[in-house]
Chains A and B, each alone.
Chain A
Amino acid sequence: MVSKRSEGARSDEAAGDPPVPVAVKILVAGGFGVGKTTLVGSVSEIRPLQTEELLTDRGVGVDDTEGVEQKTTTTVAMDFGRITIRDGLILYLFGTPGQDRFWFMWDELSYGALGAVVLADTRRLADCFPAVDYFENRDLPFVIAVNCFDDGYDYTPDEIREALDLVPETPVVLCDVRDRTSGKDVLTALVKHLLAVHEAGTGHITPAL
């Protein structure tokens, strides 16, 4: 038994290092308190993890502080979740920091992202304007996901598209971020949109999905 086990260990080593998975990311943006972390949590296979970035010199002139101590203690937290698509392919969902003064974080987050979900709340639709502008300016494809709060106003996706001045191709979906299936449908709508954008860009005809 013992010798067998040691043989097994050797052959494991001979098999080489564990394969490096491919990681892709999708951003979840929107105004403060619109449900970004809830959406990430409802579809993630793990409880959302949090990373923290310290704001150092980048915060100077933005943070109204005088002491160096206070500048260096400014942090911005980002929640993220994970979905294993298959062995070796992992999708990460990053919630973007809500406040405008963290734009510099968005550049880093959006680099290499497949696309984005912009969460909107019809009671405060203007809160998602900055995210819409940001992704439009950087040609990062996105979908609008309207989180249907119980006391929210009832709008049709077309009314929301008009209010946000979106191009007709940008999908607008209604969702309940607390619901896993609903959250999954938002991501599915985004990836279908990404495929359509990709195929339009390469001149292929979009097949029915």
Chain B
Amino acid sequence: MTGPGSEWLDDEAGPIVRSYALTRGRARPATGDAFDMITIISTAARPRGGAPGIGPEHFDILEMCVQPQPVAEIAARLRLPLVVVRVLLGDLLHHRLITATRPRPESTLSKERLLREVLHGLQAL
């Protein structure tokens, strides 16, 4: 329990060390993208072999987003903090392995239609 390296096994430090290790210390996405919680991520390509800077967690995201997913669901399912997921998404976008569809600023007419659709959907629940 107190052997060499046990200082890295502290319960509180553990996940944090891991989080930033995954991003190699980066706290901001390489592409400078904001990745809103409901930005939808879709897998565009899946590299066959290894790609530089693309790790297992990147592949997890690519696998998950074959069915397009919002950023919040990716973070929740991978159990990774949002800040980390955003960095990983930035890497994937940089390598053109994903596409990101941001929430659209709706035009006046389509906003009304959208709200009516949401209302009818809720009433039908």
A interface residues with partner B (beta carbon < 8 Å): 17-25, 43, 49-54, 56, 69, 72-73, 75, 80, 82-86, 89-92, 94, 108-109, 111-112, 114, 184, 187-188, 191-192, 194-195, 198-199, 202, 209
Contacts and interface: CB of A to CB of B under 8 A. Distances in A.
Contacts of B12: 69, 73
Contacts, number: 120
A49 B117 contact: no
A193 to B, nearest CB: 10
Given A51-B75, A51-B76, A53-B83, A195 B116 contact: yes
A20 B42 contact: yes
Contact of A198 (B68, B99, B101, B111): B111
Nearest to B104: A22
A85 B81 contact: no
SS of A interface (majority): mixed
B112 A91 contact: no
Contact of A69 (B13, B36, B81): B13
15 contacts: A18-B67, A43-B125, A49-B77, A51-B72, A51-B81, A53-B81, A54-B16, A54-B19, A69-B16, A72-B16, A80-B37, A82-B73, A85-B117, A89-B121, A108-B37
